[in-house]
Amino acid sequence: MFDFLEGYDVLGAFWTTVQLTLLSAVGSLVLGTLLAAMRVSPVPLMRGFGAAYVNIVRNIPLTVIIVFTSLGLSNIFGVALGAADDFDTKFFRLAVLGLSAYTATFVCEALRSGINTVPVGQAEAARALGLSFTQVLTLIVLPQAFRTVIGPLTNVLIALTKNTTVAAAIGVAEAALLMKEMIENEAQLLLIATIFALGFVVLTLPTGLLLGWLGKRLAVKR
Amino acid sequence: MSSVLYDTPGPRAKRRNLILSVVFAVVLVLALWWTWQTMSDAGQTEGAKWTPFVEGAAWTTYLLPGLGNTLKAAALAMIIALPLGAALGIARMSDHKWVRVPAAVIVEFFRAIPVLLLMVFANQFYSDYTGIESDSRPLYAVVTGLVLYNASVLAEIVRAGILSLPKGQTEAAQAIGMRKTQVMTSILLPQAVTAMLPAIVSQLVVIVKDTALGGAMLNFTELLNARKTLAANYANVIPSFIVVAVIYIVLNFILTSLASWLESRLRRSKKSTGAVLGAEEVADLNAPGEVVGVHGADPGARAGGGTAAAQGDGRTPH
């Protein structure tokens, strides 16, 4: 019954999906935190840049961004991310870059609303002790903000997992691309689709449950 | 401008902020300069690459038909997904287990898998089992994928809207002898629908962005796909990307503004007893396995004093 699986590396494709997800998650977390810090910083130019970046990038479809990393960044600007000869690695890295740049805007907005939930007294007390803006943010406000936004960030991570399929648009050999190839060549349409759908359910549901539990445990009780 | 995160700048802080501004500006200008240089080396800054957008040929032949298809797919998907979503959302709150459980499974399943998978599957399904012509198949596939996914998100929006209504509404309706269907159709749904309007409009942004998937993967001739043909004709990769991105940004900005206008308007008027669902609530619904109605129950709770001056509208990436 499962003969058609021969010759296809389904697990390998899902492993690429997992790698795309994890690397982009780290990338977007770093970039998103930087953007959030910029958006609440005392320097007007940085605030403006942060706001402009978030509002522009968030409103462009991810597909457009991913296709641009290949046709624009790679072909016109010559960005190869250290893998000019190895096409598979290059497009994988470009996809991670595109996914991180896009997801960072959502991380930034989630963090910013998290910063909002930290009581005013916390920052006021920190300033009264003579802490600088960077110290107030990194020692007092952000640690509390992160703990309250684990829930929203989990949703961002799950959406990111699903969004990695867009990398298929530039030929990264992840799950969606393999599924497209398989259903075009094999006859078992429903069976193949079910396998891939269940693969994503297996990836997303435990993430939601695990991080949801973690979020409740780590939430700052007020 | 001051915030609770930092003191009102004195002379030293002002100087430091100025230095930081200058450094940041220099970095930005350098980045822009490099972008411009590389673009002109590739011949992308020539006037000839931009003139098609001014003269209108690019618009009438490529971009407007593409945009038309984007809007057509988005509108169709929303119109079909709304009643389906409402039905699923109500079914999920049914008193009968055999209705409630399957509805819940369907909703959670379709929210957990990527839209692209649904579109690719629908495309192949129509090709194998139906006689839909190959010209119109991508549109059918895109709309089907969008409907399956968004109906389940809308089901959660409907459910959150109805759950946010005070219990007294149901109790009062039952007290005057209404049946379950009557309570739902004459009391709960009308109030929930107004409360859900901003959330529904916000979901349109997600739908519009997802139509681009069909352009890239199924050769559906929407805006992103039209850009490809356009750039093949005029060799203007970067200008065409910029123009297409601006169209998407403007379109989504209009939808987002409409949603927040509706949200603030509905929060002010007291026509509904329920909480108004805004973009923030929709964000959570686009990920599976999330408990519904967490913020929805009390919109006033997050208006309270926060640390940062600004309020994020936390949407999920789509």
Q: Is B289 left (phi over 0), alpha (psi -120 to 50) or beta?
A: left
What pLDDT does residue B309 have? 40
Q: Kindly report the pTM of this predicted structure.
A: 0.89
Angstroms from B200 CA to nearest CA on chain A: 17
Determine the residue of chain B that is closest to A56 in CA distance: B249
- Is A77 contained in some domain? yes
Determine the residue of chain A that is closest to B249 in CA distance: A59
| Domain harbouring A163, CATH code | 1.10.3720.10
Q: What is the per-residue pLDDT across A202-211, written as a single tens digit (0 to 9) for each?
A: 999 888 889 8
**Count helices and strands in chain A by DSSP H and E runs:** 10, 0
Closest CA to B158 of B181, B191, B205: B191
What pLDDT does residue A160 have? 96
Determine the residue of chain A that is closest to B18 in CA distance: A43
CB contact under 8 A, B238 and A197: no
CB contact under 8 A, B120 and A78: no
Instruction: Answer for the pair A83, A90: CB distance below 8 angstroms, yes or no.
Output: yes
Closest CA to A66 of B66, B224, B252, B59: B224
Q: Residues A4-12: what's their mean pLDDT?
A: 86
Q: Return the residue in A45, A122, A137, A138 with the most chain B beta carbons within 10 A, the one to mutate for interface testing.
A: A45
Phi, psi (rounded to 5 degrees) for B3: -145, 165
Residues of B in contact with A143 (CB under 8 A): none
Mean pLDDT of chain A: 92
DSSP state letter for B142? H
Q: Residues A198-221: what's their mean pLDDT?
A: 88
CB contact under 8 A, B308 and A116: yes
Total of domains in chain A: 1
- Cα B168 to its chain centre, rounded Å, is 33
- Over 50: is that where the pLDDT of A18 sits? yes
Determine the residue of chain A that is closest to B7 in CA distance: A127
Residues of B in contact with A105 (CB under 8 A): 317
CB contact under 8 A, B113 and A201: yes
Collapse the DSSP code of A126 into the 3-class scheme (helix H, G, I; strand E, B; otherwise coil) and give the result.
helix
CB contact under 8 A, A193 and B215: no
What pLDDT does residue A7 have? 82
CB contact under 8 A, B310 and A112: yes
CB contact under 8 A, B310 and A40: yes
Give the count of Cβ contacts less than 8 A between chain A and B. 242
- Is A112 contained in some domain? yes
Distance CA A3, CA B232 (A): 42
- Is A3 contained in some domain? no
Instruction: Answer for the pair B22, A58: CB distance below 8 angstroms, yes or no.
Output: no
What pLDDT does residue A218 have? 87
Name the one residue in this structure whose structure tokens are 């401008």: B1
CB contact under 8 A, A169 and B216: yes
Residue of B24, B44, B309 lying closest to A76 (CB–CB): B44
Percent composition of chain A: helix, strand, coil (DSSP 3-state, to 5): 80, 0, 20
Q: What is the per-residue pLDDT across A85-130, written as a single tens digit (0 to 9) for each?
A: 888 999 999 999 999 999 999 999 999 999 988 999 999 999 999 9
CB contact under 8 A, B6 and A168: no
**What stretch of H or E contains A26?**
helix A10-39
Name the one residue in this structure whose structure tokens are 């867009």: A166
CB contact under 8 A, A43 and B253: no
Residue of A116, A155, A179 lying closest to B287 (CB–CB): A155
Other Cβ atoms within 10 Å of A109 Cβ, number: 30
- Is A73 contained in some domain? yes
What pLDDT does residue B283 have? 61
Residues in chain A, overall count = 222
Instruction: Answer for the pair A167, A20: CB distance below 8 angstroms, yes or no.
Output: yes
State the Cα torsion A32-A12-A8-A10 to the nearest 10°. Answer: -70
Instruction: Answer for the pair A200, B289: CB distance below 8 angstroms, yes or no.
Output: no
Distance CA A186, CA B274 (A): 50
- Is A1 contained in some domain? no
Q: According to DSSP H, which parts of B179-236 are helical?
A: 180-182, 189-217, 223-234
Residues of A in contact with B230 (CB under 8 A): none
Determine the residue of chain B that is closest to A180 in CA distance: B120
Percent of all residues in chain A with a pLDDT value above 70, rounded to a whole number:
100
DSSP state letter for B290? P
Question: Looking only at Cα atoms, what is the longest distance across chain A?
Answer: 71
Q: Could you list the residue range(s) of the whole structural domain that residue A97 is in?
A: 9-218
Structural domains of chain B, with CATH:
50-294 (1.10.3720.10)
Per-residue pLDDT of chain B (318 residues; tens, 9 = 90+): 457 888 888 899 899 999 999 999 999 999 999 999 999 998 888 888 888 888 888 888 899 999 999 999 999 999 999 999 999 999 999 999 999 999 999 999 999 999 999 999 999 999 999 988 988 999 999 999 999 999 999 999 999 999 988 999 999 999 999 999 999 999 998 888 888 888 999 999 999 999 999 999 999 999 999 999 999 998 889 999 999 999 999 999 999 999 999 888 888 876 666 677 766 666 666 655 443 333 333 333 333 344 444 334 445 555
What pLDDT does residue B288 have? 52
Instruction: Answer for the pair A102, A59: CB distance below 8 angstroms, yes or no.
Output: no
CB contact under 8 A, B114 and A200: yes
CB contact under 8 A, B310 and A196: no
Residue of B3, B4, B217 lying closest to A168 (CB–CB): B217
Distance CA A120, CA B15 (A): 27
- Complex-level ipTM beyond the 0.90 threshold: yes
Distance CA A74, CA A68 (A): 8
Residues of A in contact with B305 (CB under 8 A): 119-120
Closest CA to A112 of B1, B311, B303, B256: B311
Task: Give the angle A54-A59-A62 at the CA atoms, nearest 5°.
Answer: 100
What pLDDT does residue A71 have? 93
Residues of A in contact with B293 (CB under 8 A): none
Distance CA B60, CA A19 (A): 42
